[in-house]
Amino acid sequence: MDTQALKQQLKAQIIEQLNLEEVKVEDISDDQALFGDGLGLDSIDALELIVLLERHYGIKITDPKQGQDVFKNVNTMAEFIQKNS
Q: What is 30-85 written as a DSSP string?
A: TTS-SBTTSS-B-HHHHHHHHHHHHHHH------HHHHHHHTT-HHHHHHHHHHH-
CA gap 26, 56 in Å, rounded: 21
Q: What is the pLDDT along the chain (85 residues), one digit of tens a residue?
A: 899 999 999 999 999 999 999 999 999 999 999 999 999 999 999 999 999 999 999 999 989 899 999 999 999 999 999 999 8
Domains and CATH numbers, the chain: 3-84 (1.10.1200.10)
* Residue pair 66/60 in contact by the 8 Å Cβ criterion: no
